[in-house]
Amino acid sequence: MSIKMIINLSILFLCVILTSAEKGDGYCDLKEKTCDGDFLNEKFIIYDVNPPEGFNLRRDVYMRFAIMLSEARQHHKNWMLILPPWYSLYHWQTTQSDFPLPWSNFFDVKSLKKFAPVVELHEVFSKIESNIFTIDRLYVLQNYPDAFENGEFRDKWEIGGNCDYDGTFWGYNNVTVKETVCVKYQGRISNLWELISLNPTDKFVMFAHGEIPLHDQYGTKTFWDCRKSMKFNKNLINTAKKYISEYFNCNSKICTTYVSVHWRRRDFARSRKKDVPSIKGTVKQIDNAIKNYNPQIVNIFIASDGQNSELIKLEKQLSDIGYKVHFYLPTQSELDKFKDGGVAIIDQIICSHAAYFIGTYESTFTFRIQEEREILGFESSTTFNRLCPDKGRCEAPSKWKIVN
């Protein structure tokens, strides 16, 4: 046996030990030299989402794939999930980034890796030999025209038809695909393995319209374990904590000194007119909620994508009846650093720690705040509250309680 072979074998051995040792504490990090063996043996899935979808729906799509990949590990499938970078989101109107942003800008990727075998796309780029990243097969998922065939919704998929990939490969121009396959798909995400198994030699597989496959199970312990692993980037947390401490004099997880509201406007106020209140209606509902919950509270934190003119009106009307209204207004350097995506997360963190929260009906931005509050341990009556329309029915929000 040559010295070179011995060294190679030792590295392989070390890698096996490290990978198994790491199982309890996360998955192999491709940046570690010891994981090179893994890169050769691993296969990779990456996905893209319907271009107009926002950040918080995309977080749920991530969870579907992360859970699918984490469960696959338990059946010794050597697949990893590549985290699709954030690029040019429709709602990011102040600071559109010219380049794709990695997940580490927003999340604690080490924590994600503790739950699922995930890698950033730039980590993969640094491992491949070519300048071009070639995806073996791109499955463009499409909805069936009729989800309820014979009145029944059932899991199914079918290859065929016409389709185009309508995305941008996360802003990269060095990405190509060898083969594109159109697939009509409905039902649980784990059925994607059936598709993948049709081409067992594929190493890099991509799914476009990753929002189409659904969670196998929603709200289970595994769901919440995955959700808990989605910790935010430390700088965002620290900025939010500093704000809470400064304006609401609270340094604990569960604050008692302010109420928070997520007031979703823009496309929501236009397309869901019957679910959202007017400014006057919003003021009345916030005032009633505080009077019922704790009339001592005067501080209100508002997170919103609303226009300045609307926010000024809302602030004035609340101040007129004795409240102190707060918004998180980033400095220019914070905006440059965190971008719209980070600022939105800071808004969410501040909402999450408030004594009482009122959200917008069926907004995924609101859902993510509610989940965070469940994780923090708030009484659910302080979390699952919504703004109602000025007139007409006001359905209670669904309560997704944590399972530990």
* Catalytic center residues: 53
Q: State the minimum distance, in angstroms, from the CB of residue 86 to Mg ion.
A: 14
Of 135 and 343, nearer to ligand GDP (C-beta) is 343
Minimum CB distance to ligand GDP, residue 11 (Å): 43
| Closer residue to Mg ion in complex, CB, 58/353 | 58
Q: How far is CA 208 from the centre of its chain?
A: 17
The answer to whether 304 contacts ligand GDP (rule: CB under 6 A) is yes
Residue 360 region by backbone torsions, left for phi larger than 0, else alpha for psi between -120 and 50, else beta: beta
113 forms part of the interface with ligand GDP (CB under 6 A): no
Sheet holding 156-159, edge to edge: 118-120, 79-83, 43-47, 204-208, 133-142, 175-186, 156-159
Asked if 80 and 42 count as a contact pair (C-beta separation under 8 A), the reply is yes
Task: Tell me: does residue 341 bind Mg ion (CB under 5 A).
Answer: no
> Does 54 interact with Mg ion (rule: CB under 5 A)?
yes
Write each residue from 1 to 40 as x if it is in contact with Mg ion (CB under 5 A), else as -, in one continuous string.
Answer: ----------------------------------------
Alpha carbon separation from 319 to 32, 135, 283, 328, 350 (Å, rounded): 55, 56, 10, 17, 20
In the chain, what is the straight-line distance between the N-terminal and C-terminal CA atoms, in Å? 52
With CB under 6 A as the contact rule, the residue among 68, 343, 355, 369 that binds ligand GDP is: 343
Amino acid found at 170: W
Q: Which residue in 315, 83, 291 sits closest to 206, CA to CA?
A: 83
* CA separation for the pair 149, 160 (Å, rounded): 18
- Binding to ligand GDP in span 49-78, by CB under 6 A: 54-57
Total residues in contact with ligand GDP, by rule CB under 6 A: 19
The SS3 assignment for 388 reads coil
Residue 58 C-beta: closest distance to ligand GDP, Å: 7
Among 43, 77, 91, 241, binds ligand GDP (CB under 6 A): 91
Q: Using CB under 6 A as the criterion, which residues of the chain lie in contact with ligand GDP when the complex forms?
A: 54-57, 91-92, 262, 264, 268, 303-305, 340, 343-344, 347, 363-365
